[in-house]
């Protein structure tokens, strides 16, 4: 689940890029484990950050338009660029 540009721009400016872990909730649903990537977006020539949440749960359907709430608990590693798959 990707956050909108407006949400990403409202994140603290001093938060480091990288991979984080925590909890996520879609709408009024259950709380699930998640990992979160905060990083520079090559699509925008690396001048904008993107925030992508990977919820560790299988949903029965898409949840576009729902409110996504997250709690970041910890930091895993810095952002990395990969040369291949």
Extract the runs of DSSP E, i.e. beta strands, from 1-85.
18-26, 31-40, 49-55, 68-77
Burial of 18 (0-12, 13-18, 19+ CB in 10 A): middle
Give the catalytic positions in this structure: 52
CA gap 12, 36 in Å, rounded? 15
């Amino acid at each position: 689940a990707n956050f909108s540009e407006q949400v990403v721009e409202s994140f603290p400016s001093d938060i480091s890029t990288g991979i984080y872990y925590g909890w996520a909730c879609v709408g009024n649903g259950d709380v699930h484990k998640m990992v979160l990537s905060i990083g520079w977006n090559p699509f925008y020539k690396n001048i904008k950050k993107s925030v992508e949440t990977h919820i560790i749960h299988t949903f029965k359907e898409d949840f576009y338009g729902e409110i996504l709430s997250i709690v970041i608990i910890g930091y895993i590693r810095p952002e990395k660029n990969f040369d291949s798959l």
